[in-house]
Every structure is written in C-alpha cells, then in structure tokens.
Amino acid sequence: MPIATITPDLEMHYEVDDFAEPWREHDTVLLMHGNAESSEVWYGWVPQLAAELRVVRPDMRGFGRSTPMPRDYAWSPDRIVDDFVALMDQLGIERFHLVGAKVGGTMALRFAARHSSRVQTLTVLGPPTRGADSAARYLSWVAYIEQHGMESWARSTMSGRLGPGFPAEGSAWWIKLMGRTALSTQLGFLSAVPKVDITPDLPNICCPTLVITTQDNPLYPLEKVQAWQSRIPNSELLTVPGDSYHIAATAPAQCARATLEFMRSRSESAKSR
C-alpha cells in the first residue's frame, strides 16, 4: 500500500495507475476526491484516464486510508493544498493535470491559484466556492452525525447527492464507503468548511479550466455556477443533464471522457503556439 509521509501527523495513502504505452512520454493527472470519500471513488474514471495518463489518486488528509485527524484539527485549504504539493514533490512530478470533485474541486481551485506553474489543466466538478452559503446545512450535518453516526448520515443525504435515479446497489456502496470515514475527521472538517471562501482566488487561476455541473443541481443552481465560473479567465462550462450534485459519481464515464478531451485539446493548442 503506497504511503507518503507528508508531515509528522500525516501518512497519506495514494494509488498510481498507469496503463499508457510505456515507451511513450505521457502526462500525469492528480485526482482530488470530495468530503467523506477516498481514492476508491474514481473507479469509473481510471479505465479511461490511465490508458493515456499516469493517474495519481491520494486519500486526502484524514480520509480513506490516510491518517485520521482529531476533531479539533485546524483545517484550512492551504494545508490541504500543501499536502498534495508535498506528495507530488515526493513522486518527482513537477507539472500535471488536476481534477477535483465537490470539495476536492474547491481545493483544486485553490491549488491552481497558488501554484499556476505546476497545473497544465484544471477540471472541477460541482465544487462549492463559499462555505458560508451552506453553513446551516453543514452545521446541521454535524449535529446529525453526533447523534446518529456516519453511515446513517450518508444514507440520509445520499438521494440528494446521487439523485433518485441512481441504482440502489450503487447507493448502498457509497453509503458504506462514506460511512467508514473517521468520526473525528468528519466532525472537524464539516465544522471548518463554512469558513472556506475561495472566490477571491478565481481571477488568479491562469491554466485552462473546465467546470462541469448538472442542469438541475439541487445545491448549486446553474446561474450561480455560471457566475463564479465566468470569473476564471481561461475557463469553459459543461452542463450535463441530471439532478445530482455529484456528477463525478453519477456520470463518471461521460465526465472522464469530457475531461480527457479537454486535456487533449488544450495540450495540442499549447504545442501549436
């Protein structure tokens, strides 16, 4: 099991998938998962991406098989970004594509704003940009989890996350996966998210950026997504039919294909200049 020692309090688990032709030079993509998730959630993405790219998929600090965090841990986007920078440094990878889903997309936006020279392209799927917009929901989740536990919370919120049309057996898999999240990590992380605001970073993102959302997103209406996406200078918006707010999970093959096409097109245009 690959482990990178990032800081004294964090051993980060990660996976590397690379099925591209080994005699050809190829790029790397770093995948950043969302809240209460792990590197396992990219199951629908890896077959397409890893056929052409080196895929690095870590478990974010506190989540998956990485070291759990205490409830009073001082969470910040910059700390999470620094973790991923340290991982890529240890792997010896200077430049790469970046993909983030949900709050992983929030952290990816911060990453691209802070480390523009390292990011070839950025793709984000359903990220919140201002935690304060959803503060009441996050704090109600904390209270629910304290009383009922992680798996019950995952079950109670899964319909909105994946949409009512997602297969029941698929929802059960997601409930079990999210339910395994360390309680201390989740309670501390949810309490910190309302303080996050990356909207000032948006104009500072220089790399080609693709934003993917659903037409009928129940948490982030299309007009709000368009409003913040338009502040990223070199960006485009892809709207996919659907009513979930976790499009990376409900349409993984479609999103992976669109992301790969975006990477190709922007890489080719950069080479032609």
What's the predicted TM-score (pTM) here? 0.96
Under 8 Å between Cβ of 225 and 252: no
Architecture of the domain made up of 3-130+198-272: 3-Layer(aba) Sandwich (3.40)
Place of tokens 């998929």: 57
What pLDDT, on a 0 to 100 scale, did the predictor assign at position 127?
A: 87
Under 8 Å between Cβ of 108 and 210: no
For the chain, percent helix, then strand, then coil, each to nearest 5?
Answer: 50, 20, 35
pLDDT tens column, 59-113: 999 999 999 999 999 999 999 999 999 999 999 999 999 999 999 999 999 999 9
Q: Give one DSSP letter per residue of 55-91, joined into a string.
A: EEEEPPTTSTTSPP--TT----HHHHHHHHHHHHHHH
Q: What percent of the chain has pLDDT over 70?
A: 97
Total residue length of the chain: 273
Classify the C-alpha dihedral 124-261-90-38 as positive or negative.
Answer: positive
Considering only CA atoms, which of 63, 50, 56, 54 is closest in space to residue 12?
A: 63
What pLDDT, on a 0 to 100 scale, did the predictor assign at position 270?
A: 58
pLDDT under 50: residue ranges of the chain:
272
The two beta strands, 209-214 and 119-125, are parallel
Considering only CA atoms, which of 243, 273, 236, 242 is closest in space to residue 258?
A: 236
What pLDDT, on a 0 to 100 scale, did the predictor assign at position 269?
A: 56
What pLDDT, on a 0 to 100 scale, did the predictor assign at position 164?
A: 87
